[in-house]
């Protein structure tokens, strides 16, 4: 497909085919091959893109070729065809000059990138004058792609940043580290390293942000601290709004954490409206980390739990004692449990399903403490059911716990019975386990 289209386009450019004849042949060719090519192969080069390309490749080809290339673009030229067309028309002198500069025998892919992205001999010579010698071909292309111009390197040198590695130059251009930006930062800091400048730019710290923070009261912020603020996404506006809520200047590290954990102005106001007037930045951070929202506190109030200290709220949140869980447990006990009891119940995974299982087995501990004791020692619906199958029913809560403590289960009872031991009681089983059943029943 490429050769056929390419041949047609060349004939049109050379005047061997009229535009009408060429258009007809191209349409026929496209129809025959529309399912056999990649999107890149068939994607047409726009006229605007072609104008930019012509400017970039001019040093590598003859002027007449540029005219022909533009004419082909108007007829409809794919990216793959443009590549092939350019490669066929690169001046021999251009290739020889690249070879003299250390870039011999470039494969087509790399040669095309040199031409299309502007890694021309003149550019390479200027780089060599500035000490950039023997740059790998791939690296040279990256420099061109990201706009590492000779002028850019010279401007950096004027700012006393010289001998910067090609990799770092590319990185600087990627993050838009301009000479103006560097100059502004140098005015704000007595000493600042190039890596710090790159990191500041990378994380969005501008001179305006630094000046706004200084006006609020954050004097002498180091570049490293500013990078952390940038990572957190702090702006002068955020710092100003947060500090307006407190009598003292918020320490910069806490301010950074507040932003990272989404402590907003509305969040602070919501807590103050609920009576937490003297809440500290550190407490606000912890509350956001553990998802303690004003809505959470209001729900607890509706359930009768008011004036709760922040530490207790944090404990409830850490152990996931939700309003829904509180409602379930209070309903089971038909009373309002203390929050400390509810916390213990949650810690020991006392769920609604667990309690209902015990009730189905005929047991409903009448206190949270007994229920927790059951859970700690593994007294479950299944355990009780296995004992009932062995004939042990209506055991006391204390006996069930003792059975679990001493690992008395249906398997142990079966072993005793296989020994021919009869008339087993709960007390005998416990004693047998404590002292060794062979001694008790020999």
What pLDDT sits at residue 366? 83
Q: What is the pLDDT of residues 227-286, one digit of tens each?
A: 999 999 999 999 999 999 999 999 999 999 999 999 999 999 999 999 999 999 999 999
Q: What is the pLDDT of residues 12-57, one digit of tens each?
A: 666 677 766 666 676 666 555 544 444 444 588 888 889 999 999 9
3-state secondary structure of 362: coil
Q: What is the pLDDT of residues 322-364, one digit of tens each?
A: 999 999 999 999 999 999 999 999 999 999 999 999 999 999 8
What pLDDT sits at residue 2? 45
Q: What is the pLDDT of residues 180-228, one digit of tens each?
A: 999 999 999 989 999 999 999 999 999 999 999 999 999 989 999 999 9
Give the helix/strand (H/E) hosting 152: helix 150-158
What pLDDT sits at residue 73? 83
Angle at alpha carbon of residue 227, lines to 222 and 231, rounded to 5° = 150
Using alpha carbons, list the distances in angstroms from residue 148 to 23, 166, 178, 244, 389: 41, 9, 11, 44, 83
Whether the predicted pLDDT of 310 surpasses 80? yes
Q: Which two tokens stand for residue 350?
A: 């006392």
231 contacts: CB under 8 Å, gap ≥ 6: 203, 260
Identify which has the larger pLDDT, 345 or 415.
Answer: 345
d(CA 56, CA 35): 32
């Amino acid at each position: 497909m490429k050769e056929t289209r390419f041949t047609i386009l060349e004939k049109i450019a050379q005047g061997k085919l009229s535009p009408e004849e060429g258009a007809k042949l191209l349409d026929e060719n496209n129809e025959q091959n529309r399912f056999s090519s990649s999107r890149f192969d068939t994607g047409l080069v726009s006229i605007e893109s072609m104008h930019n390309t012509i400017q970039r490749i001019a040093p590598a080809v003859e002027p007449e070729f540029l005219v022909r290339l533009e004419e082909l673009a108007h007829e409809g030229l794919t990216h793959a065809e443009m590549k092939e067309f350019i490669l066929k028309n690169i001046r021999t002198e251009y290739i020889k000059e690249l070879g003299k500069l250390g870039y011999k025998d470039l494969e087509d892919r790399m040669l095309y990138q040199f031409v299309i992205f502007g890694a021309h001999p003149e550019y390479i010579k200027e780089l060599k004058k500035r000490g950039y010698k023997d740059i790998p071909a791939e690296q040279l292309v990256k420099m061109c792609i990201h706009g590492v111009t000779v002028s850019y390197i010279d401007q950096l040198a004027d700012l006393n940043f010289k001998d910067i590695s090609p990799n770092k130059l590319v990185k600087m251009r990627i993050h838009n580290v301009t000479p103006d930006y560097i100059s502004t930062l140098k005015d704000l800091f007595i000493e600042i390293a190039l890596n710090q400048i790159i990191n500041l730019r990378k994380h969005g710290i501008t001179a305006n942000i630094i000046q706004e923070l200084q006006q609020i009261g954050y004097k002498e912020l180091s570049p490293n601290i500013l990078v952390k603020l940038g990572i957190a996404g702090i702006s002068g506006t955020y710092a100003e709004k947060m500090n307006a809520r407190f009598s003292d200047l918020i320490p910069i590290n806490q301010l950074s954490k507040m932003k990272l954990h989404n402590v907003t102005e509305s969040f602070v106001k919501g807590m103050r409206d609920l009576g937490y007037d003297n809440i500290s930045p550190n407490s606000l951070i912890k509350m956001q980390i553990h998802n303690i929202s004003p809505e959470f506190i209001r729900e607890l109030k509706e359930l009768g739990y008011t004036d709760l200290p922040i530490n207790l709220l944090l404990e409830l949140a850490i152990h996931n004692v939700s309003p829904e869980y509180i409602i379930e447990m209070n309903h089971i006990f038909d009373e309002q449990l203390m929050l400390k009891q509810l916390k213990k119940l949650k810690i020991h995974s006392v769920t609604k399903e667990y309690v209902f299982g015990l009730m189905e087995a005929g047991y409903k501990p009448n206190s949270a403490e007994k229920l927790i004791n059951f859970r700690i020692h593994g007294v479950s619906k299944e355990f009780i059911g296995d004992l009932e199958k062995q004939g042990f029913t209506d055991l006391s809560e204390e006996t069930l716990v003792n059975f679990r403590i001493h690992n008395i289960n249906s398997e142990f009872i079966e072993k005793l019975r296989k020994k021919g031991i009869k008339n087993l009681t709960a007390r005998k089983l416990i004693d047998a386990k404590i002292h060794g059943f062979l001694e008790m029943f020999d």
